[in-house]
Chain A
Amino acid sequence: MNHNHPVFTDNDPQSELVTLNLGPTHPATHGVFQNVLQLDGERIVSGVSTIGYIHRAFEKIAEHRPFYQITPLTDRLNYCSSPINNMGWHMTVEKLLNIQTPKRVDYLRVIIMELSRIADHIICNTIIGQDTGATTTFLYLFQFREHIYEIFEEVCGARLTTNIGRIGGFERDFNDIAFAKIDKFLKEFPKALKEFENLLTRNRIFIDRTAGVAEVSKETALEYSWTGPLLRATGVDYDVRVSDPYSSYQDFDFDIPVGTSGDIYDRYLVRNEEMWQSVRIIEQAVVKLKTEPKGIFHANVPEFYLPPKQEVYNNMEALIYHFKIVMGEIDAPKAEVYHAVEGGNGELGFYLINDGGRTPYRLHFRRPSFINYQMFAPMSEGMLLSDAIINMSSMNIIAGELDA
């Protein structure tokens, strides 16, 4: 019987290579990744990645669900920044249905998406610190992920797999506690991020471990279809938020940080700077919200926006729309649409084909982790094992997005 993972038949008694099964469950890999490595001492000679350990057939399941039931599936792609996935999916359907969302909805979405980007980058950068031996940084900054999750909890009731929002906007308006928590976060987070940078950015040990390790050129990165912070660390200023703005990102003033050599240190710097830029965007969004009419939290599209339960029980139209949406009977055009958002790891694309049925005819997720990860084994060749471990941390591969 054939197996996915390679079997090395190295029976040569003179061979000096060692086969190491790194994973599928290994404390250093932060997720279900298997790499069968051939080692010469501590140096990696060759490696083969095996993925698919948590493959859940989301694309197949999505072909059997009405649009609004697909949102929880997207939660489980990159579960470190679920709201970006949720809203990316909602915006895909809105593009299909030609729904224009009000500016206030866009700004609320931007706040949530940038908070999730910060949460995603916190995980990645603190884990690089952790894997290079700096547990302190991990403990200092990680509590702000908790504060971000408290904001999500206030907005949608969930923390990790958020299922936040609806097609057309949000299921409810942000309450005062949510805004107070956002303000508190904006006040406290920059201090902590500064402290975090003070601990790592000019830290001699950290630079020794990361600078010049796993360098990637622009050409190679583009050849392997890299996107997100990994691509920007190599010096390509590609960001979906700027090149293909969605959710009114064109109204905001922010910079796209780029690196030069694409090594782990550059990736760390790019992610750190992106957190600063995200803070900037959230601050602008909070100011912009003050001039928008209050109380608008969804587009006025009753035939596509799931109505609140109390209306369903008391209002005939709402009952009809509720029934039609839940049964997947909405009038969606027969068309195909590709929509991309800038996820925590890169371009998260949704390719949706609708044939007018109750469910999508085909839904394909362009998952940045999947596409970024294929370079891991080739680029590990010739690298020290300990460098390969922090290389994997700095690529921020999320197993849920990798395997879908």
Chain B
Amino acid sequence: MEETTLNNGIHVKLTEKFGEKVTAVSEPYGLLTFVTYKDVIVNVLSHLKEELKFNFLTDITAVHYPGKDHGIAVVYHLHNMVEKLRIRIKVFISEQNPTIPTATTIWKGANWMERETYDLFGVKFEGHPDLRRILNMDDLGVHPMLKQYPLEDPNRVDKKDEFFGR
């Protein structure tokens, strides 16, 4: 990744406050990105909201990296509308026990974003007021965005992915 230059001030302030808990800082395409841990995520988010004016929660989602120790990354995008800055925060959590504290205590709008992430990835947001599935039916039984679930019925013989360049 490129050198951290654009948003160095924020990076410095975060390191002062959270020290070792803010790691893997990079800036792909000008968007400051860092990794933190689930025990401090609520503090990091509220610090960003209250002190550094990242008062707008753009999005919460997750990414699945199967086969790793901490295989699910919960990704937060925040936005400082006044200074026109965006920031991306990632928390890697274990696939076997995918729990993370909820952000609904900081932003009410996190409610449905977390429900969607729970529905699609099975991430359990602790303290969420109403953690139900939102897009899929409740008796689906799986969290379909996890990589182990194929897109189509694997038993079909007429549609092989290699014939379609996939």
Contacts and interface: CB of A to CB of B under 8 A. Distances in A.
Interface of A: 1-4, 51-52, 55, 57, 59-61, 63-66, 95-96, 222-226, 236, 238, 243-244, 326-328, 335-338, 340, 347, 349, 351, 353, 358-359, 361-362, 364, 366, 370-371, 373-375, 403-404
Given A4-B133, A335-B28, 19 more contacts: A2-B139, A4-B134, A4-B137, A55-B135, A60-B145, A60-B151, A64-B151, A224-B107, A226-B109, A244-B84, A327-B165, A337-B29, A338-B29, A338-B31, A347-B58, A361-B63, A364-B59, A375-B109, A403-B135
A1 B138 contact: yes
B81 A238 contact: yes
A51 B134 contact: yes
B156 interface: no
Interface string B9-45: 0000000000000000000110101000000000000
Contact of A225 (B56, B75, B86, B165): B56
Interface string B55-67: 1111101011000
Contacts of B116: 370
A349 B113 contact: no
A66 B77 CA distance: 25
B77 A225 contact: no
Contacts of A226: 109
Given A223-B107, A371-B109, A52 B77 contact: no
A244 B58 CA distance: 14
Contacts of B88: 338
Interface in B87-139: 88, 107-113, 116, 120, 132-139
Contact of A337 (B28, B58, B137): B28
6 contacts: A4-B132, A61-B151, A327-B165, A340-B58, A362-B64, A371-B113
B112 A222 contact: no
Contacts of B161: 64
B151 A63 contact: yes
Contacts of B61: 351, 364
Contact of A338 (B86, B137, B139): B86
Contacts of B84: 243-244
A358 B59 contact: no
B55 to A, nearest CB: 6
A338 B77 contact: yes
Contacts of A349: 58-59, 77
Given A52-B136, A225-B58, A359 B166 contact: yes
A284 B28 CA distance: 33
Given A95-B29, A374-B109, A3 B55 contact: no
Contacts of A1: 138-139
Nearest 8 interchain pairs by C-beta: A225-B109, A327-B165, A52-B135, A374-B112, A224-B109, A55-B135, A364-B61, A2-B138
B125 to A, nearest CB: 15
Nearest to B65: A361
Interface string B127-166: 0000011111111000011000001000000000100011
Interface of B: 28-29, 31, 33, 55-59, 61, 63-64, 75, 77, 81, 84, 86, 88, 107-113, 116, 120, 132-139, 144-145, 151, 161, 165-166
A245 B61 CA distance: 24
A311 B49 CA distance: 53
A59 B143 CA distance: 13
A59 B145 contact: yes
A349 B59 CA distance: 9
B120 A358 contact: no
A366 B112 CA distance: 12
Contacts of A63: 151
A366 B75 CA distance: 12
B161 to A, nearest CB: 7
Given A4-B137, A327-B165, A328-B166, A351 B75 contact: yes
Contacts of B137: 3-4, 52
Contacts of A60: 144-145, 151
A230 to B, nearest CB: 12
A320 B161 CA distance: 21
Contacts of A375: 109
Contacts of B111: 374
A404 B151 CA distance: 16
A51 B59 CA distance: 18
Nearest to B110: A225
Nearest to B165: A327
B79 to A, nearest CB: 9
Contacts of A366: 58-59, 77
Contacts of B77: 338, 349, 351, 366
Contacts of B151: 60-61, 63-64
Contacts of A57: 144
A326 B58 CA distance: 33
A63 B84 CA distance: 30
B107 A3 contact: no
A338 B84 CA distance: 14
A225 B57 contact: yes
B9 to A, nearest CB: 19
